[in-house]
Amino acid sequence: MKSSLTYLLTACYAAAVASQPTGSSDKLGHERSLIQVGESHIPIWMMEQEVLGLIRSKKTFMDITGNNLLPAMVYPTEPRQKAVVQEIHQLLSPDSMRIFLTTFSSFPNRYCRSHYGVKSSDWLYNTVAELIKNNRGTLNRRVPHRRISQQSIVVRIEGQGNLASEVVVVGAHQDSINQANPYMGRSPGADDDGSGSTTIFETLSALLRAQYQPARSLEFHWYAGEEIGLVGSQDIAQDYANRNVNVRAMLQLDMTGFTDHSGNMGIVTDFVHPELTQFTRQLVHTYSNLTALDFQCGYACSDHASWSKYGFPSAMPFESNEMELNPYIHSDKDTVETVDFDHMLQFAKIATGFAVELTHTSE
């Protein structure tokens, strides 16, 4: 007997996969169906011939195409706050990002179960506290997790007016890993995910310096324990689901600093919300100099998947549309010298657009 939790998780992941914008038809336009052959199996997109093959070999299965448990959401059809966003863009600084990331990646590691994972988290918390200290209406808190010593960090800019209970989240993961030796090996984690942590810090910093006042509440999350299975983000998404928090959108930035200078970047299309992803493509087009190309990141590749799992809409832009572009991640070679701050700046511009466009208006 499968537990009801297994059923729930499978259904949620199935929903996330089912909601992929791509994959439902091939290049010739032949329809594909999302097929699941068992509760613990990941659903697979299949052509009709493949489905007939299952029938002939007497395998049982369900066609779950369109079983979408993610909420229907309406996002703006195009960016509408260009003047406000572009004003705030002036405050983003690659030099500030370099200074932040140089310190953040100088801890021997940020492994979520190690002494240094706690030290780096303390430094991040204190740096965030310093940034927000003169801003009334902006609060920070630490979120402890049962199985790891590192804590997640949450900053909230309280919304104004009748939309204040709705939340827009911008996230990154603070932990790093040396996969050969997590406790003793060095893992500067400059790109993975010092880059996303830096990008969202700089975005928050610019919004605060611009004295931006959102209508919806705006949160910045630095998750603990992503590298060992999305531990921090799952705890937080589950807590928000239990408390019925109305999360309208979540943007995950995991790796924003490594580039081959092709001018391309990636937009993750699996385990994300299709409409929010479409809106994010428009943000890339409007607010950055990069070309967004679709790519699949795989099951639970980063913290956006935790939000999909608990039924919240998420999207994930990525530094490249090639999965293996950065050969240094999870090793001692993922250093600040390998990171491009002009590339990272593009992601800070996208994140600023996301934050303002989705919290500014009464829609």
Instruction: Please give the residue ranges that form the binding site for ligand BES (CB under 6 A).
Output: 192-193, 226-227, 229-230, 254-255, 297-298, 300-302, 323, 329
Element of type H or E holding 85: helix 82-89
Q: What is the DSSP string of 257-323?
A: S---SSSEEEEE-SSS-HHHHHHHHHHHHHH-SPEEEEE---TT-STHHHHHHTT--EE-EES-SST
**Partner that binds at residue 109, options Zn ion, ligand BES, none, CB closer than 5 to 8 Å by kind:** none
Cross-sheet strand order for the sheet of 317-318: 291-295, 264-268, 317-318
Choose, from 191, 227, 275, 303, the residue flagged as catalytic: 227
Q: Within 10 A of 320 (CB to CB), how many other CB atoms are there?
A: 21
To the nearest whole angstrom, how small is the minimum distance from the Cβ of residue 97 to ligand BES?
A: 18
Report the half-sphere exposure of 162 (CA within 13 A, side-chain side). Answer: 2
Residues 227-256, one symbol each (x = binds Zn ion by CB under 5 A, - = not), give: ---------------------------x--
Is residue 273 part of the annotated active site? The answer reads no
Q: Does 275 bind Zn ion (CB under 5 A)?
A: no
Question: In terms of CB distance, is 187 or 359 closer to Zn ion?
Answer: 187
To the nearest whole angstrom, how small is the minimum distance from the Cβ of residue 332 to Zn ion?
A: 16
For residue 166, the cross-strand partners are: 246
To the nearest whole angstrom, how small is the minimum distance from the Cβ of residue 351 to ligand BES?
A: 17
User: In whole angstroms, how far apart are CA 344 and each of 104, 307, 356?
Assistant: 15, 24, 18
Q: Spell out a b/e string for 188-212, using b for 16 or more CB atoms within 10 Å of the CB, else e.
A: bbbbbbbbbbbbbbbbbbbbbebeb
Is residue 115 part of the annotated active site? The answer reads no
Is residue 50 part of the annotated active site? The answer reads no
Parallel/antiparallel/unpaired status of strands 291-295 and 264-268: parallel
To the nearest whole angstrom, how small is the minimum distance from the Cβ of residue 328 to ligand BES?
A: 11
To the nearest whole angstrom, how small is the minimum distance from the Cβ of residue 211 to ligand BES?
A: 33
Tokens 């990008």 locate to 199
Choose, from 221, 273, 330, 343, the residue flagged as catalytic: 330
- CA dist., res. 156 & res. 137, Å (int): 8
Question: In terms of CB distance, is 169 or 255 closer to ligand BES?
Answer: 255
Is residue 191 part of the annotated active site? The answer reads no
Q: Which residue is nearest to ligand BES (CB)?
A: 301
**Partner that binds at residue 292, options ligand BES, Zn ion, none, CB closer than 5 to 8 Å by kind:** none
Is residue 145 part of the annotated active site? The answer reads no
To the nearest whole angstrom, how small is the minimum distance from the Cβ of residue 191 to ligand BES?
A: 8
Question: In terms of CB distance, is 218 or 250 closer to ligand BES?
Answer: 250
Choose, from 191, 202, 219, 254, the residue flagged as catalytic: 254
Choose, from 145, 166, 173, 340, the residue flagged as catalytic: 173
Q: What is the DSSP string of 201-240?
A: HHHHHHHHHTT---SSEEEEEEES--TTTSHHHHHHHHHH
Question: In terms of CB distance, is 172 or 358 closer to ligand BES?
Answer: 172
Tell me, what DSSP letter sits at residue 25? B
Residues in the chain: 363
Is residue 166 part of the annotated active site? The answer reads no
Greatest Cα pair distance, the chain, in angstroms, is 68
Residues 172-211, one symbol each (x = binds Zn ion by CB under 5 A, - = not), give: --------------------xx------------------
Q: Within 10 A of 4 (CB to CB), how many other CB atoms are there?
A: 8
Q: Dig out the tokens for 195 from the structure.
A: 């880059």
Question: In terms of CB distance, is 227 or 275 closer to ligand BES?
Answer: 227
Tokens 């983003």 locate to 92
Choose, from 219, 226, 275, 303, the residue flagged as catalytic: 226
**Partner that binds at residue 153, options Zn ion, ligand BES, none, CB closer than 5 to 8 Å by kind:** none
To the nearest whole angstrom, how small is the minimum distance from the Cβ of residue 318 to ligand BES?
A: 6
**Partner that binds at residue 202, options ligand BES, Zn ion, none, CB closer than 5 to 8 Å by kind:** none
- Binding residues with Zn ion: total (CB under 5 A): 3
Q: Residue 65 is which amino acid?
A: T
Give residues in contact with Zn ion (CB under 5 A).
192-193, 254
Which residues participate in catalysis according to the annotation? Answer: 173, 192, 226-227, 254, 330
